[in-house]
Amino acid sequence: MRLLVLGGTGFLGRHIVERAVLGGWHVTTFNRGLTGADHPAAEALRGDRETEGGLTALGSGRWDAVIDTSGHVPASVARSARLLADRAATYLYVSSLAALPWPAHPASDELAPRDCPLDAGLEDTGYGTLKAGCERAVRAAFGERALIVRPGIITGPRDDAGPVRGWLLRAARGGRFLAGGDPGDPVQLLDCRDVASWLLACAREGRTGSLNAAGPLGRTTRGGLMDACVAVTGAGAEPVWADDRFLTASGVRPWLDLPLWTPHDTPGYAHLWTVDASAAYAAGLSCRPLGETVEDTWAELRDAPAGGAGSGAENGGESGAFSAERERALIDDWLARHATASRTAP
Q: Are 251 and 342 in contact (CB under 8 A)?
A: no
Mean of pLDDT values over 260-282: 87
Residue 161's pLDDT is what? 81
Do residues 147 and 177 share a domain?
Answer: no
Residue 320's pLDDT is what? 57
Please determine, for residue 308, whether its predicted confidence score (pLDDT) is greater than 60.
Answer: no
Question: Is 82 a domain residue?
Answer: yes
Last residue of a domain, one of 151, 181, 206: 151
Residue 121's pLDDT is what? 73
Q: What percentage of the chain carries pLDDT values higher than 70?
A: 89
Count Cβ atoms within 10 A of the Cβ of residue 119 and give its class: 0-12 exposed, 13-18 middle, 19 or more buried. Answer: exposed
Q: Among 21-25, 51-55, 248-252, whose mean pLDDT is lowest? A: 51-55
Distances (CA, A) of 25 to 21, 93, 336: 5, 18, 59
Which residues are CB-neighbours of 115 under 8 A, at least 6 positions away?
Answer: 129, 132
Residue 344's pLDDT is what? 47
pTM recorded for the entire structure: 0.91
Beta-carbon-side half-sphere exposure of residue 189 (alpha carbons within 13 Å): 27
The CATH number given to whatever domain includes residue 87 is: 3.40.50.720
Question: Is 280 a domain residue?
Answer: no
Q: What percentage of the chain carries pLDDT values higher than 90?
A: 73
Q: What is the DSSP string of 220-250?
A: EEHHHHHHHHHHHH-S--EEEEE-HHHHHHT
Residue 311's pLDDT is what? 43
- Which residue range forms the structural domain that includes residue 221? 163-189+217-274+290-344
Q: What is the mean pLDDT of the chain?
A: 89
Please determine, for residue 192, whether its predicted confidence score (pLDDT) is greater than 80.
Answer: yes
For the chain, the domain total comes to 2
Count Cβ atoms within 10 A of the Cβ of residue 53 and give its class: 0-12 exposed, 13-18 middle, 19 or more buried. Answer: exposed
Last residue of a domain, one of 151, 178, 209: 151
Please determine, for residue 309, whether its predicted confidence score (pLDDT) is greater than 50.
Answer: no
